[in-house]
């Protein structure tokens, strides 16, 4: 039997129980100090809702702490709810940038920061499911955020 060391901001057990809203937003802020953490997370989650199946979005939400689940709603309230079409890279980046009111060239860094914080909330199995549903052009950013490498500047 091993003893797990838990820190105040990294209490994730690997069982998908997450930490809490404050520690998640603190993790986003640490990655993206120039952005409001909640808005950055909402913009990225909104974008993800256009790329991932409803079932996977529901599974992701269920792994988050209850006080964080509201940020990962079914569909994005800023965009029309309807059939999900194929979203290309430029449209996706522009959508996240517009949602956040940021420059499109900053979106990859925002994605990386929110993805890194999100990885601390979900199980490895769930992270692999997400990666499998992401388009190839976004899989690298998701994987790099999990490994803590390739942090865009």
CATH number of 65's domain: 1.10.490.110
Does 4 reside within a domain? no
Q: What's the domain count of the chain?
A: 1
Range of the domain at 54: 21-74+86-146
What are the CA-CA distances from residue 99 to residues 39, 66, 110, 113 (Å)?
Answer: 8, 24, 12, 16
Question: What distance in Å separates the CA atoms of residue 28 and residue 61, rounded to the nearest whole number?
Answer: 17
Q: Is 123 helix (H, G, I), strand (E, B) or coil?
A: coil
pLDDT, tens digit (0-9, with 9 covering 90-100), for 66-93:
888 888 865 566 655 544 567 889 999 9
Residue pair 72/99 in contact by the 8 Å Cβ criterion:
no
Bridge partners (DSSP) listed for residue 84: none
Lowest mean pLDDT among 2-11, 84-93, 102-111, 128-137: 2-11
For the cut 50, the answer to whether the pLDDT of residue 4 exceeds it is: no
Does 6 reside within a domain? no
Tokens for 72? 């990962």
Does 90 reside within a domain? yes
Q: What is the DSSP letter of 121?
A: T
For the cut 70, the answer to whether the pLDDT of residue 44 exceeds it is: yes
pLDDT of residue 33: 94
Does 48 reside within a domain? yes
- Each as own residue / partner, the long-range contacts of residues 143-148 (CB below 8 Å, 24 or more positions apart, any chain) are 144/112, 145/111, 145/112, 145/113, 145/115, 145/116, 145/118, 145/119, 146/115, 146/116, 146/119, 148/116
What's the pTM value of the predicted model, to 2 decimals? 0.81
pLDDT of residue 79: 55
Does 129 reside within a domain? yes
Does 3 reside within a domain? no
Does 151 reside within a domain? no
Does 7 reside within a domain? no
Residue 1 pLDDT grade (very low, low, confident, very high; cuts 50, 70, 90)? very low
């Amino acid at each position: 039997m091993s003893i797990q060391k838990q820190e105040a901001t990294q209490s994730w057990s690997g069982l998908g129980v997450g930490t809490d809203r404050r520690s998640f937003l603190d993790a986003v802020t640490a990655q993206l100090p120039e952005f409001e953490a909640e808005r950055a997370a909402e913009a990225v989650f909104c974008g993800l809702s256009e790329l991932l199946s409803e079932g996977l979005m529901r599974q992701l939400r269920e792994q988050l702490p209850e006080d964080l689940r509201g940020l990962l709603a079914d569909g994005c309230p800023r965009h029309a709810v309807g059939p999900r079409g194929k979203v290309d890279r430029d449209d996706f980046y522009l959508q996240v940038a517009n949602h956040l009111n940021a420059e499109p060239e900053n979106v990859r860094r925002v994605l990386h920061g929110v993805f890194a914080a999100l990885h601390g909330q979900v199980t490895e199995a769930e992270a692999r499911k997400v990666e499998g549903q992401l388009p190839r052009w976004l899989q690298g950013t998701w994987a790099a955020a999990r490994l803590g490498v390739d942090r865009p500047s």
